[in-house]
Amino acid sequence: MKTLKICAALAAVFAAGQVQAQGAPIKIGVVTPLTGTYAGIGQQVKWGIDMAIKEINDKGGIMGRKVEAIYEDEEANPNVAVQKAEKLFQVSKVDFLTGTVNSGSTLAVGQVAERNQRLAATTVSFSDAITGDKCSPNVFRVNAKAGMQSAALVEWMVKEKPSPSVFYLGPDYEMGRSTVAAFKSAAEKRGAKSVGEVFAPLDNKDYSPFFGQIRAARPQVLYTSVAGNDTVRFMSQLAEFGLAKNLQIVGAAGTVTAQNMKAIGKAADGYVTGAAYSAELDNPANKKFVADFKAAWKADPDLYGVDSYGVMYFYKAAVEKAGSTDTDKLRTAMRGLEWQTPQGKKTMRAGDHQAIQDMYAVKVTGGKFQIIAKVPGEAAVGPDTCTRF
């Protein structure tokens, strides 16, 4: 009898606890660079997440619970990211973690998530490894990976110029070389002829010593994976030497960006790259998103902003499908999940936790990226190479 009473009392307490938990806000930890070189990207991440949370809360939250974001500055440093992620899980007791920008931070934070038996998602990191050979059962990627970007570009290129001759120029460091190698093998599989490649030092000031080789090779297409100010010099010097005529210049995702486009000036016109997003995307959801974003932040959204906005809807859809924030239930719900974003419908592939989405070929016209072709997600995503789960 006594035992029963205690049991009943305990049950009541538990039930009360349950009710309380239902009312408490869902905490989202965001570990992102708010200072330093990548602060600009971190800013877009924050704008996207804040905007999505406000929309969700205005419509009653997720399963009746408000959503709240807690930010930590990781300075684009994986060591700092690990400390901040640990703090968010242990001290702030966040339910979900997102925001990491550079791939090193994402991989490191993924391990923290595994240890804490929580889930994390990246909205920015490009490295194929995150959903490839370094995949984690606790990490999801809602943005397109590097391979999808170059696959989309290859698809567009071979359609435009069947079996093109391609010259490659990349910065001489690991990421620059692997980006070129990935594009090259994808292009060759689709019939492109490689007519030469050169790797210039990082921060190379003058590219004209390579122009003789490019001219002699007479390529139809020039692929480059240089980035930042190297792009400014490379592309303006190409134009200066009159090499840009009769030559289609294409490049990696980070080659021409909002940050360096102005400095490249007219020399950027005609440049084509593969992209997972453009603010010009013509659908009602995107139009509303762009207008709201501009109204809220007085700035244009970019790829990082839209994917960080989208991750909140991914999480919301998963929690509602699972009916819980429990890690295992949530993981199951996320696998194969379909959700809507300003970029269109996305599908989370169960086998490697890589989101599948339509990709685009975009061309710089008058200082803006214009969509010139669409490549279906299934064609761009490539095979599942994750073997851990």
Partner 1 sequence: MTEILESLQFVYGPQVANGLAIGVAVILMALGLTIIFGLLDVINMSHGEFYALGAYLAVTLVGQGVNFWLCLALVPVAMAAIGYFTERALIQRVFHTKDRHILTLLLTFGLAIIAEDAFKLAYGPNPYKPESPISGASEILGIMLPNYRLFLIAAGGAIIVAVWLVVYRTTLGAMVRAAAWDKNMAASLGVPVERVYAGTFAFGVALAGLSGVLLAPIYSVFPTMGKDFILMAFTVVIVGGMGSIKGAVIAGLVLTQIQSISSLFISPVWSDPLVFGIMVLFLMVRPQGLAGRLGHG
Residue 340 interacts with partner 1 (CB under 8 A): yes or no: no
Alpha-carbon distance of 10 to 7, in angstroms, equals 5
Single residue of 60, 115, 189, 203 touching partner 1 by CB under 8 A: 203
Residue found under tokens 């698809």: 155
Report the candidate in 348, 359, 346 with the shortest Cα–Cα distance to residue 281.
Answer: 359
Cα end-to-end span (Å), the chain: 49
* Residues of this chain, 147-176, that bind partner 1 according to CB under 8 A: 172
Q: Which is nearer to partner 1, 36 or 376 (CB)?
A: 36
CB of 234 to partner 1, least distance (A): 10
Distance, in Å, from the CA atom of 133 to the CA atom of 147, rounded to the nearest integer, reads: 13
SS3 call for 162: coil
Query: Out of 199, 277, 315, 360, which residue is the one contacting partner 1 (CB under 8 A)?
Result: 199
Give the whole-angstrom CA distance, residue 365 versus residue 63: 44
Q: With both helix axes pointing from N to C terminus, report the angle between 327-334 and 303-322 in degrees, rounded to the nearest 10.
A: 120
Q: Which of 165, 178, 229, 332 binds partner 1 (CB under 8 A)?
A: 229
Q: Which is nearer to partner 1, 110 or 171 (CB)?
A: 171
303 is a site residue for partner 1 (CB under 8 A): no
| Cβ proximity to partner 1, 366 vs 383, nearer residue | 366
Q: Which residues pair with 365 in a beta bridge?
A: 368
* Candidate ranges 86-94, 110-118, 177-185, 197-205; the one touching partner 1 (CB under 8 A): 197-205
Total of residues contacting partner 1 (CB under 8 A): 34
The reply on whether position 304 binds partner 1 by CB under 8 A is: no
* Stretch 250-289: interaction string toward partner 1, x if CB under 8 A: ---------xx-xxxxx-----------------------
SS3 label, residue 58? helix
Q: Extract the tokens encoding 362.
A: 């975009």
Q: How far apart are CA 306 and CA 344, in angstroms?
A: 11
Q: Does 188 bind partner 1 (CB under 8 A)?
A: no
Query: How far is residue 124's CA from residue 311's CA, in Å, rounded to a whole number?
Result: 11
- By beta-carbon proximity to partner 1, the closer residue of 166 and 214 is 214
Residues that bind partner 1 (CB under 8 A): 37, 172, 198-201, 203-206, 208-213, 215-216, 228-229, 232-233, 236-237, 240-242, 259-260, 262-266
